[in-house]
Structure 1
Amino acid sequence: MCREDASLFCLLGFLPFLSTVLAYENLALNKSAWQQFPYPNRPWGAEKAVDGLKSALGAFGGQCVISGNYKSTAEWRVDLGEVLSIHYIFIQHRTENVAWDENNYYTARFLGFSVYVSNSTRKEDGVLCFRDSNYTRATIPNPTNITCVTHGRYVIYYNNRTSPPYPAGYDSYAFNDICELEVYGCPTPGYYGEDCSLPCPQKCQEGRCNIVDGTCLGCIPGYTGPACDKECADNRFGFECNSTCGKCLNGEQCNHVNGSCPNGCDEGVFGDKCDKECPVGLFGYNCRENCSMNCGVPGKCDRVTGECRGGCQPGWRDLQCKIKCKAGEFGQNCTESCGNCVQNEACHHVNGSCLNGCDAGYEGTNCTQECPVGLFGYNCRENCSMNCGVPGKCDRVTGECRGGCQSGWRDLQCKIKCKAGEFGQNCTESCGNCVQNEACHHVNGSCLNGCDAGYEGTNCTQECPVGLFGYNCRENCSMNCGVPGKCDRVTGECRGGCQPGWRDLQCKIKCKAGEFGQNCTESCGNCVQNEACHHVNGSCLNGCDAGYEGTNCTQECPVGLFGYNCRENCSMNCGVPGKCDRVTGECRGGCQSGWRDLQCVQ
């Protein structure tokens, strides 16, 4: 058994138990049920175990759930609909209406079974109410009552045959053949007692209590006692009063629920519960003050007074090292004087650096060094342009290039590109025919996105050669032009029209269906099923319609022939032998003696 207060009873010999539990309701009756392996194509579903019927204990009585054969596990469960208080569980196994003893075939199926109560559909999440480890075929009781004083939503019946060898008498496979499983307890959460009329104590955890005596199964935080009616005391708080209060201001009792100190913490501690010493860098009441980062050891001070240990760092003074050196002074003990800062500003009180930088042409911590070659301006932070006549060389104060600019650049510092449409040395050259009249590259004049229609080359100054047209001359003139491969270099329009079978300005579109030839002016003949003829020569690709022949299907069938492509012969049994309708083959003038049908072939 899984619980100290759980016990197993047979129906026989439990009259004292029965008188106690008769008042409880069957919580499982007609509730939703499920089984792992239903028996296929039989009316033995999971719901049979909670239908309230258990007078017929065999397969064909229609009152039992029966699981599938040859399975290594068997699981059945009922959903009570919500978490309810349970007292005991009644199980009636299948007997096939045969005496229940060691000779009953079905006793072997149920040996080793378990019963769980869970708040989820997983038995592993719940409470193990019972697991058979001792029964034999001769001793397993049926029906069975299992006392399991607990709370839960799902009652799960489980058996397995997954770890052979099995004890003597065990069936080789697992089953959950149950004729009825009843779960007795209180139908309304938060109540207990024989008639479920007594409300659980108010401070019970989740409002749940023992279904028999009403003792809380646990208290909400801050309370203790069987009825959870006593607040935590003696410097204790929280769940089951297991936590100790921290160091509250003036030794006050902390909150019995969450351990917080109502009036804050004493000096040197912090947190809602005042149970943490000030970390390095903090001091005072509730550790709300920061040790000065200017202490000899930055951020380290007495956690009560905040006094720096080991004096102050350079640039600071006072016990807590929170006051700067006077203007014009810096360094250890504030004994050093500032250098030459921009606009004669005061330097930094710690290291003497100029807070807003140096004058143009100077750099260094104290602004005493001239800019090196390639740099200029305030603090020497700007780079001379690589577009200078001598790349990277300029005046250290103004940045003006010496020797002018390189190709594609202009202005004193050579940092501005040539205007749109210009490129080269001194920006004196003009761009070629770039696509959509875009500006060319300011240095070499190349068109970044290619050439406009009709032009090619690096700078888009070359007209397309014969046979090519369009942007960057990338398109080929159509071979269907009147002069194959010759067209307008901009639009691709064919000069001299199109060859037979083609149309449109670029001669890339075939004649419409039903047309062919030069300028698509000729009409197709009688092609089969009214198909379009070949767009160039008018030939019917799949042959002629009935009654016609010839390359273009324009010739009627000669006398004696009929049908598609005139391939069939008129019957010699016609009234006039070999003479018939050129389309249908119907004999004109009827048939000769002895023959019938329209074509006189029967």
Structure 2
Amino acid sequence: MILPSTIFYLSIHSLILWFGVLKMRYVNGQIRSNIALHKPAFQQNTFTIHQYEPDAGRFDASNAVDGLKFNLTALGDSSNGYTSRFLGFSVYVSNTTSLLGGTLCFKDNDFTKSTIPAVLNISCPVYGQYVIYYNERLPGVVYPDGYSEYAFAEICELEVYECGIGYFGYKCTESCGHCLDPAQCSPVDGTCSTGCSAGYFRQLCKTECKSGNYGFKCNETCGHCSDLLYCSHVNGTCLTGCEPGYEGEGCQQMCKFGFYGIGCHQECSSFCKTSRDCNHVSGACRNGCRHGWQGDDCFDAAFCISLALNCVLIAIILMKRLRRASPEVTKDQVNEEKYKGDNDVSKEASNETSYQELGEINKSETYESCQ
């Protein structure tokens, strides 16, 4: 008995984006191999005629997914005179075997027996488990000329393609993000079901870690980079080097004992109270300097006190010498005044005045010499 409608089901236990009736090839997108090959398939009714009963398997639904496509004829008829049976067909994608919950991907309203192709490509960006081929010839409905009287499902081969690894979306033209497992990028919306690789976060794993963070889930904190904007969001490497006092790729290691500064290349002073025990950033000695040395880094010798003492000693010596010289000059000048024959009063007054003036002059000279 021939029914007024026919349904062919193909069960695909994976994501479905692209499928074809008879054969599918989409060359512009990033697709991978046929995922319908050898998958479970069944049909509402199987065509049987007594003379073919010994070979009844030739009409089983599994023939549509066996990968044999070299012969597109039916019953040895090379003229392909059964195209009228395809006219008006529909293709659905669904998560059940019911059309009611499925998505209509294609409905033929235009093909004729002469225009329907032997190989038909259909693009359908849909997520589902079943591909359903449906056709009908309902009582009381007038169909266009060329349509067969009854409905058949005579599919030579049905192939289903999903996006290749690393691609998703309509026509598989979108690139997946940095998924931890690239094979787990959804071909529908690009979400990474197993999370992101190091350095990225959010559902599509296309967003880099914020400045100052890196690693898986961006949970790691960058070290003492000279510029956090150049801390690698993947492994924390400081691309522009470290702040003074730190070293290593991640700039998380303090300088070794005895070294400090940029790149830890500068040596601490050996004149620190504890030799070469200094701050790893500034080089300042932690416990002060040894005797005779000063400054934060203990590189300055203590000369100031000794210079001041030498200056005082020199001044005292000069003053003593000047005082010895001043009395001799004064006696000579007084004797000369006595021999001039002036009166005693004038002589004494003159001597006192002369001695006093000379003393004032010598005091000034002595003061200037000390200065």
Q: Name the TM tier (shorter chain).
A: 0.3 to 0.5
Return the structure number with greater helix share.
2
Give TM-score, length-normalised by structure 2: 0.38
TM score, norm. by length of structure 1: 0.24
Please identify which structure carries the higher strand content. 1
Relative contact order, higher structure (CA 8 A, sep 6+) = 2
